[in-house]
Amino acid sequence: MKLIWLQAAGCGGCTQSLLGAESRAGVLAQFADGGIELVLHPGMSESTGDETLDLLRAAADGRLSFDILCVEGALLRGPNGSGRFQMLSGSGRPLIAWVRELAARAAYVLAIGTCSAYGGIVSGGENVTDACGLQFDGDQEGGLLGTDFRSGAGLPVINVAGCPTHPGWIVDTLLSLALGALNAADLDAWQRPRFYTEQLVHHGCPRNEFYEFKASAQKLSDLGCLMENMGCKGTQANADCNLRPWHGVGSCVRGGFACISCTEPGFEEPGHPFMETPKIAGIPTGLPIDMPKAWFVALAALSKSATPKRVRENSRSDHPLIAPGIRKSGPK
């Protein structure tokens, strides 16, 4: 399968994340092993300048067949729908015109990262560039390609959302397509692959013991749970970040930062500072998914009353103060 990758408006962080994919031989070798040929990528291809433009022209007019179009970054429709806020260098045409033409030729179209999926950080604030995603504008269907868009294989845009997206999510999605193992039923309501959104960031969180006892961090450097005071949305965010950490070791909460639910549309404007938890009468307004408010209040009260001294003291420190006790094993 032949792959063309374009970078629209964004930071390039999803490509940087992809380069860290866990493969001894590198991500390009991983693609090759899966039967995927990277025809064009702004940062990883050998072709440049006129050679790149010739490849794009051939792909757009049907002379060069390809299978997968990946777009990283938000699509800029401004000013006034012209798309001229982002021109493809040397072509004299807006990038969005190229994206529309190439998407019409592709068997599969992938939005790589939340910017390309929903607009993301680039669309925040007044959005003077009229940035949007490929098939969503925030949480509204439509985007650049429109609600009714379907690729050559009959699928909508596949949103590999995340800011940045996890390299494993990109690789697994592409390999699933190469194997013919991904269809419309494998996408969730936001058109994200279910293999990573049917888990929560909370699953596998190294701070889960503190969460269970509602032993909360009071400041950024504390070891405690970040939900109650520090804005963490790990119990509400759909992603498997803590089950398969970046490079095998890293995630936001493992680095001491709250989960900001970057895989969902609108995460960039939560209506409050990212590192603060909005509350009403002392109760967080964003409760864990599937948990009624009354249950959470009752559970929190019971958990706090049973918090061991070790957990309570460690939660308010930047390093463990008290080690777990040691219990002799043997017949009970």
Residue 70 marked in a binding site: no
The Cα 250–Cα 206 span in angstroms is 11
Residue 241 marked in a binding site: yes
Of 175, 135, 184, residue with least CA distance to 155: 184
Residue 252 marked in a binding site: no
Residue 115 marked in a binding site: yes
Residue 132 marked in a binding site: no
The Cα 131–Cα 138 span in angstroms is 10
Are 193 and 186 in contact by the 8 Å Cβ rule? The answer is yes
Of 210, 222, 252, residue with least CA distance to 234: 252
Are 107 and 68 in contact by the 8 Å Cβ rule? The answer is yes
Residue 163 marked in a binding site: yes
Of 97, 103, 37, 36, residue with least CA distance to 69: 103
Measuring CA to CA, how many Å separate 144 from each of 29, 194, 232, 264?
32, 23, 31, 18
Residue 262 marked in a binding site: yes
Question: Within 10 Å of residue 281's Cβ, how many Cβ atoms?
Answer: 5
**Binding site for [4Fe-4S] cluster: which residues?**
11, 14, 115, 163, 202, 205, 225, 232
**Binding site for [3Fe-4S] cluster: which residues?**
241, 259, 262
**Binding site: which residues?**
11, 14, 115, 163, 202, 205, 225, 232, 241, 259, 262
